Amino acid sequence: MSLVIVLLGILLLIFLIGYFKLNTFITFIIVSVTIGLALGMDISTVTNAVKTGIGNTLGFLVIILGFGAMLGKIVADSGAAQRITTSLIDAFGEKYIQWALVLTGFIVGIPMFYSVGFVILVPLVFSVAARTKLPLLYVGLPILASLSVTHGYLPPHPAPSALAETFGADLGTTLLYGIIVAIPAIILGGPVFSRTLKKYNPKPLEAFFNPKALKEDEMPSLVASVFSALLPVILLALTAGFNFFVDNNSVIGKVLGFLGDPFIAMLISVVVAIYILGIRRNKTMNEVSESLLEGVKGIAMIMLIIGGAGALKQILIESGVSQIIADNLITLDASPLILAWGISAVIRVCVGSATVAGLTSAGIVFPLIAQTGADPSLMVLATGSGSLMFSHLNDSGFWMFKEYFNLSVKDTLKTWSIMETIVSVTGIIGVLILSYFV
């Protein structure tokens, strides 16, 4: 009965947004409260869950999205994005631009949180599409497939790292296996799938890129452009690397931990960009501040929508729906790898959060490692790939993609949701194949 209520709630969400055209954030709150009450939660528990869900979701993302939007707008307005775009096209050629973006997304995605990488790289996607006149999704999906896969599969991302700790898997081995499995998933979900989407060519929000082509002398140098745009990646990658050789409790370890926090890395990056791309290029602080303001204004509703998705997620968690489903699935007689993937996938579809799906599944299937002798690293990857399954209306990533790429809910389901399904299914197939050789 609980699952029926959740499905009816999601249908109500689709109806109110898609047909009644009600504001998405308001719809999320209405549906969250409705599902909570229908599942038998008392009103105070429902309202507290809504507040907790919004607060927990935006507590981190509001900082990251805010700084990311500021950085992206400065990079766009200064011409840095155009400089990087031109250099990529010159280096790879327009024919191979998808592969250049796949490589960029993979390198950036390994050390960086998905939401951080998204807000940093999406302006670059918009600039590439504008420069090459290629369809936006043809250009954008490959880079986002890379970000999504690295987020779900590979340490040092929080969920894969936590899964490795839970399963007792070696991080280095998990990373190596993960890269092997990630490559075909990214290729199929990115360049291959995006080539079927050329009929979709939405117009991006102008707040996130500069449609005006600047002259050569109006743009910063390539070094300054890449350094400013990718400074968060550099900080996170360096600190993550040094942390393997430095005691976390030492002075150096604490400094690295400080610099490696995504919030601090983004703050430093915005300040550096203000100077390198703004002040040093003879822009006034008022001009720079205007770019910062415009960047944040462009994502105000996006942040509310993501908060609404967090409210729905919290209702589903606190009502116990995900646990009920998982308890029923664990009685099935199947490979522990398939079971880990399946439980994670079902929870992901019901709850929305890849991290919640992965960690919830880990607690359920952990005993199977001792019972079956399954490889812990492969269990991490099976669970992680399941946690990416069919992102839809209860996932904040779905709404980030929809709003940034200016798509309808229907078209987002046909593009983003299918891409996530492809990388999830490809992931478990890759894990099963790999299990025959390790």
- The pLDDT confidence band at residue 329, using thresholds 50, 70 and 90, is low
Find the helix or strand (DSSP H, E) in which 421 lies: helix 418-435
- Contact in structure between 160 and 385 (CB atoms under 8 Å): no
- The pLDDT confidence band at residue 322, using thresholds 50, 70 and 90, is low
pTM above 0.85, yes or no: no
Residues with Cβ within 8 Å of residue 172, at least 6 apart in sequence: none
- The pLDDT confidence band at residue 191, using thresholds 50, 70 and 90, is very high
* More confident site: 389 or 359: 389
Alpha carbon distance 154, 176 (integer Å) = 9
What range does the domain containing 187 cover? 3-435
Other beta carbons within 10 angstroms of residue 421's beta carbon come to 19
In this prediction, residues 69-88 reach a mean pLDDT of: 85
C-alpha of 113 from chain center: 7
In this prediction, residues 250-254 reach a mean pLDDT of: 84
pLDDT (0 to 100) of residue 301: 83
In this prediction, residues 167-192 reach a mean pLDDT of: 93
Please state, rounded to an integer, the average pLDDT across all residues of the chain: 87
Residues with Cβ within 8 Å of residue 220, at least 6 apart in sequence: 78, 79, 80, 83, 228, 276, 277, 281
- Contact in structure between 110 and 336 (CB atoms under 8 Å): no
Cα-Cα end-to-end distance for the chain: 42
Which segments of 70-145 are extended strands (E)?
A: none
- Cis status of the peptide bond prior to 111, with omega within 30 of 0: no
Residues in the chain, overall count: 438
* More confident site: 144 or 366: 144
Other beta carbons within 10 angstroms of residue 18's beta carbon come to 15
Number of domains in the chain: 1
User: Which residue from 218, 174, 176, 214 is spatially nearest to 381, judged by alpha carbons?
Assistant: 174
Given a cut of 60, whether residue 14 has pLDDT beyond it is yes
User: Which residue from 115, 401, 158, 125 is spatially nearest to 263, judged by alpha carbons?
Assistant: 115
Alpha carbon distance 349, 356 (integer Å) = 11
